[in-house]
Chains A and B, each alone.
Chain A
Amino acid sequence: CSLQSECKVPFIHVGNQVVSELGPIIQFTKAKGHSLSDVLDDVQRAEMKAYMELMNNMLLTAELYIQWCDETTAAEITRPRYSSPYPWPLKHILAYQKQWEVRRKMSAVGWAEKTLEQVYEDVAQCCQALSQRLGTQMYFFNRQPTELDALVFGHLFTILTTQLTSNELSDKVKTYSNLLTFVHRIEQTYFEDQGGGLSS
């Protein structure tokens, strides 16, 4: 994100305020009187939080691992993509700096020793948990979308639409047909006028 070095996506710009990342944005809209999880009871809300943590701890870390720690993906896709806005030699400096940062984070959370297969296994487990929770419902909690739906959609949609060196990651998601339908439904309901997107 070019807006500020500490600032991360997603962000919203309201008046003269910039709020970045999902958590603060949820807090911000809640403070303004809008919340998607108001209809939930305490147990459901706790459950929602747990699943969101699962997303952040497992899926997000796995995505980072595959992008930056798998050398083939990093060299062919991630580094060129990350460095595309910058001129030589800054592009190389910034890309390697970012890679080093991510790898340091991986060793901090104990993922540095994992192999790619183990990471794919973690993704599969995560998807299975989500798939079981979703079942045949429209959204994770009955008929109303919540913050969890937004987060899951964001991650799965990105995984499904991003071309990597191998399709293994998106194939893991595609094995769960109810998750696929879920992503399609949200895309059609909320983003269909945007064009492009997921082609089955």
Chain B
Amino acid sequence: MGTVHARSLDPLPMQGPDLGVHADDVEVIDVEPETKQEVLENKDVVVQRVHIDGLGRTKEDLLGYEIADVFTAKNLIDVMKKSHDAREKLLHLGIFRKVEVVIDTSEGEDALPNGLDVTFEVTELRRLTGSYNTMVGNNEGSMVLGLKLPNILGRAEKLTFQFSYGTKETSYGLSFFKPKPGHFDRNVSVNLYKVTGQFPWSSLRETDRGISTEFNFPIWKTNHTLKWEGVWRELGCLARTASFAVREESGHSLKSSLSHAMVIDTRNSAILPKKGILLKINQELAGYTGGDVSFLKEDFEIQLNRRLFWDSVLSASLWGGMLLPIGDKPTCIADRFYLGGPTSVRGFSMYSIGPQSEGDYLGGEAFWASGAHLYTPLPFRPGRGGFGDLFRMHFFLNAGNLCRLDYGEGPRSHLQKLAECIRWSYGAGIVLRLGNIARLELNYCVPMGVQSGDRICDGVQFGAGIRFL
């Protein structure tokens, strides 16, 4: 019978000797009408049950939201697609190491002829995971110990602890994260931390001990963060040669601030985007909830990317910000804006633009910076499709300005100050993408519009950064 069927399918065999083999193949197909598979492919199906196997401490009600969509599937293709989506969602929760999907026909007394059972076989992450790193940098070595307790209460909550013990400083951070069930993007986190920063451009050392609570939630295409932060800041000098202006800022202060951030990001990649826009708006109000620091701080960041010919990308960005003290106290050196460096206004040294005292940069209360970049692949494209794709060449034009505000003069003169004596630079260089978090740049820069007191880096400049103009 099989051979007959084969002949009817293939009445004119091209090659005589292959005929027998063909016949065997077709015989297998011939069996198919007897199984359910062919029936289900085109007809309606009903997902009768969804099982999740391998749950330990995870609460089932949390997963209900993630897999609910699977029940709405009407045919087999849909079931597979929705199961796949559900699998992605489950993995996104960050509580499973492995998720596998098995789709089978329903069995049992109440099984419908077109009923399906979907089973997710999950492997939970361990209760406690740890990491240990050593880091070297800035004339300092440190060891970093990290502990993570994923899914600690069974509903995708996460507790992380990081402790860094350095030759100069120790710091730590404890963070608790809880998403809203069914809406992973809506989450709350509470952080407790101590961090120490050294800012040699200002001869300043800052130790922050603080607590913060933040809510993240999406609205339409935007992501919002509302945050309250209470931080005890201790400022000190890095060296005995620190200028008096920096010494005067030393001591303890307590900042309690409410802030809001809004982000729209349609870029395809955060580090070397080819298309899309980024808009970030930050606002921070300090002083109304306690503490002895009062100010209103606003800043924004815009980046536009457009793909041109031959894989090259034109990118334009603009940053700006303003810091207004509330009350009689002047602004604190730790709150002000800084500009300059290999990832902002290139050709100037790190944060070395604007007001300074004996070589210590004091920062400004208003700033703007903009950049235009043309990114192209490397000439002759070595390593194309592999390692070479991590690299780009770029030609850039950066400009910016930073100033302090004398509040008696009114807004007109402030704008005038920012428009006068603009620092700008141009040049070209190579960019290396490090994962999707950071990038390294090696540039040849020509700084222009240098004002007295600015520290420049004429020629080759190397830098790394996660935020760049």
Q: A residues touching B (Cβ–Cβ < 8 Å)?
A: 2-7, 13, 16, 18, 86-90, 93-94
How far does the Cβ of B194 sit from chain A's closest Cβ, in whole Å?
13
Give the docked Cα–Cα distance between A11 and B203 (Å).
20
How far does the Cβ of B114 sit from chain A's closest Cβ, in whole Å?
66
Nearest-CB residue, chain B, relative to A19:
B240
Q: Which of B58-66, B78-86, B125-133, B247-255 contacts A (4 or more CB under 8 A)?
A: B247-255
A5-B236, A16-B358 known; A87-B254 Cβ under 8 A: yes
Q: Is the CB of B244 within 8 A of A18?
A: yes
Instruction: Tell whether B173 is near chain A: CB-to-CB under 8 Å.
Output: no
Give the docked Cα–Cα distance between A35 and B237 (Å).
30
Point out the residues of chain B lying under 8 angstroms from A86, CB to CB: 252, 254, 292
Q: Is the CB of A5 within 8 A of B291?
A: no
- State which of B241, B242, B250, B291 has its C-beta within 8 Å of the C-beta of A87: B291
Nearest-CB residue, chain B, relative to A3:
B247
How far does the Cβ of B264 sit from chain A's closest Cβ, in whole Å?
37
How far does the Cβ of A77 sit from chain B's closest Cβ, in whole Å?
21
- List CB contacts (< 8 Å) of B258-286 with chain A: none
A4-B247, A4-B250 known; A88-B290 Cβ under 8 A: yes
Number of interface residues of B (CB under 8 A): 19
Give the docked Cα–Cα distance between A64 and B236 (Å).
25
Instruction: Tell whether B234 is near chain A: CB-to-CB under 8 Å.
Output: yes
How far does the Cβ of A32 sit from chain B's closest Cβ, in whole Å?
18
Give the docked Cα–Cα distance between A108 and B243 (Å).
35
A4-B237, A4-B247, A16-B243 known; A87-B290 Cβ under 8 A: yes
Give the docked Cα–Cα distance between A88 and B290 (Å).
8
Q: Is the CB of B247 within 8 A of A90?
A: no
- State which of A5, A13, A16, A93 has its C-beta within 8 Å of the C-beta of B232: A93
- State which of A3, A4, A88, A90 has its C-beta within 8 Å of the C-beta of B252: A90
Point out the residues of chain A lying under 8 angstroms from B247, CB to CB: 3-4, 7, 18
Give the docked Cα–Cα distance between A4 and B252 (Å).
10
Q: Is the CB of A3 within 8 A of B248?
A: yes
Nearest-CB residue, chain B, relative to A16:
B358
Q: Is the CB of A2 within 8 A of B232?
A: no
Point out the residues of chain A lying under 8 angstroms from B234, CB to CB: 5
Q: A16-B358, A18-B244, A93-B232 are in contact. List 7 more A-B contacts (CB 8 A).
A: A2-B250, A4-B242, A7-B247, A13-B244, A87-B290, A90-B252, A90-B254
Nearest-CB residue, chain A, relative to B291:
A87
Q: B residues touching A (Cβ–Cβ < 8 Å)?
A: 232, 234, 236-237, 240-244, 247-248, 250-252, 254, 290-292, 358
A-B contact pairs, 7 of them (CB 8 A): A2-B250, A5-B234, A16-B358, A86-B252, A86-B292, A87-B291, A87-B292
A16-B243, A18-B244, A88-B290 known; A5-B250 Cβ under 8 A: yes
Point out the residues of chain B lying under 8 angstroms from A6, CB to CB: 236
How far does the Cβ of A9 sit from chain B's closest Cβ, in whole Å?
14
Nearest-CB residue, chain A, relative to B247:
A3
Give the docked Cα–Cα distance between A11 and B247 (Å).
12
Give the docked Cα–Cα distance between A6 and B240 (Å).
10
Give the docked Cα–Cα distance between A7 and B244 (Å).
13
How far does the Cβ of A24 sit from chain B's closest Cβ, in whole Å?
11
How far does the Cβ of A92 sit from chain B's closest Cβ, in whole Å?
11
Q: Is the CB of A90 within 8 A of B232?
A: yes
A16-B358, A18-B244, A93-B232 known; A3-B250 Cβ under 8 A: yes
Nearest-CB residue, chain B, relative to A6:
B236
Nearest-CB residue, chain B, relative to A11:
B247
Point out the residues of chain B lying under 8 angstroms from A90, CB to CB: 232, 252, 254
Point out the residues of chain B lying under 8 angstroms from A18, CB to CB: 240, 244, 247
How far does the Cβ of A84 sit from chain B's closest Cβ, in whole Å?
12
Top 10 A-B residue pairs of the complex, sorted by shortest distance between their CB atoms: A2-B251, A87-B292, A90-B254, A3-B247, A4-B250, A5-B236, A87-B254, A4-B237, A16-B358, A87-B291
Give the docked Cα–Cα distance between A151 and B447 (Å).
55
Give the docked Cα–Cα distance between A47 and B291 (Å).
50
Point out the residues of chain A lying under 8 angstroms from B251, CB to CB: 2-3, 5
Nearest-CB residue, chain B, relative to A86:
B252
Give the docked Cα–Cα distance between A32 and B310 (Å).
70
Give the docked Cα–Cα distance between A3 and B240 (Å).
11
Nearest-CB residue, chain A, relative to B287:
A87
Give the docked Cα–Cα distance between A179 and B131 (Å).
66
A4-B236, A87-B254, A93-B232 known; A16-B290 Cβ under 8 A: no
Point out the residues of chain B lying under 8 angstroms from A93, CB to CB: 232
Nearest-CB residue, chain A, relative to B230:
A89
Q: Is the CB of A16 within 8 A of B244?
A: yes
Give the docked Cα–Cα distance between A94 and B240 (Å).
24
Give the docked Cα–Cα distance between A3 and B242 (Å).
11
Give the docked Cα–Cα distance between A5 and B251 (Å).
7
Point out the residues of chain B lying under 8 angstroms from A94, CB to CB: 252
Nearest-CB residue, chain B, relative to A5:
B236
Give the docked Cα–Cα distance between A7 and B247 (Å).
10
Point out the residues of chain A lying under 8 angstroms from B242, CB to CB: 4
Give the docked Cα–Cα distance between A13 and B358 (Å).
15
Give the docked Cα–Cα distance between A3 and B358 (Å).
17
Give the docked Cα–Cα distance between A93 and B253 (Å).
12
Point out the residues of chain B lying under 8 angstroms from A7, CB to CB: 247
Give the docked Cα–Cα distance between A125 and B59 (Å).
74
How far does the Cβ of A83 sit from chain B's closest Cβ, in whole Å?
10
How far does the Cβ of A107 sit from chain B's closest Cβ, in whole Å?
25
How far does the Cβ of A6 sit from chain B's closest Cβ, in whole Å?
8
Nearest-CB residue, chain A, relative to B240:
A18
Give the docked Cα–Cα distance between A18 and B358 (Å).
14
Point out the residues of chain B lying under 8 angstroms from A5, CB to CB: 234, 236, 250-251
How far does the Cβ of B230 sit from chain A's closest Cβ, in whole Å?
9
